[in-house]
Chain A
Amino acid sequence: DAGVIQSPRHEVTEMGQEVTLRCKPISGHDYLFWYRQTMMRGLELLIYFNNNVPIDDSGMPEDRFSAKMPNASFSTLKIQPSEPRDSAVYFCASSTGANYGYTFGSGTRLTVV
Chain B
Amino acid sequence: RKEVEQDPGPFNVPEGATVAFNCTYSNSASQSFFWYRQDCRKEPKLLMSVYSSGNEDGRFTAQLNRASQYISLLIRDSKLSDSATYLCVVHKGSNYKLTFGKGTLLTVNP
Interface set of A (CB-CB < 8 Å, partner B) = 31, 33, 42-43, 45, 48, 50, 55-56, 91, 95, 97-99, 101-107
Contacts and interface: CB of A to CB of B under 8 A. Distances in A.
A101 B46 contact: yes
Given A98-B32, A99-B32, A106-B43, A42 B96 contact: no
20 contacts: A42-B102, A43-B44, A45-B99, A48-B96, A48-B97, A50-B96, A56-B95, A95-B96, A97-B96, A98-B32, A98-B91, A98-B97, A98-B98, A101-B34, A101-B49, A101-B98, A103-B46, A104-B43, A104-B44, A106-B42
B46 A102 contact: yes
A43 B49 CA distance: 19
A102 B103 CA distance: 17
What secondary structure prevails in chain B residues at the interface with A?
strand
B97 A45 contact: yes
B95 A104 contact: no
A54 to B, nearest CB: 12
A56 B31 CA distance: 19
A110 B99 CA distance: 22
Counting from the closest, the 5 A-B pairs by CB-CB distance are: A42-B102, A104-B43, A43-B100, A101-B46, A98-B91
Contacts of A43: 44, 87, 100
A56 B49 contact: no
Nearest to B96: A98
Given A43-B44, A104-B43, A105-B43, A31 B96 contact: yes
A9 B110 CA distance: 32
Given A31-B96, A48-B96, A104 B103 contact: no
Contacts of B99: 45
A99 B49 CA distance: 9
A103 B103 CA distance: 17
A104 B100 CA distance: 13
Contacts of A48: 96-97
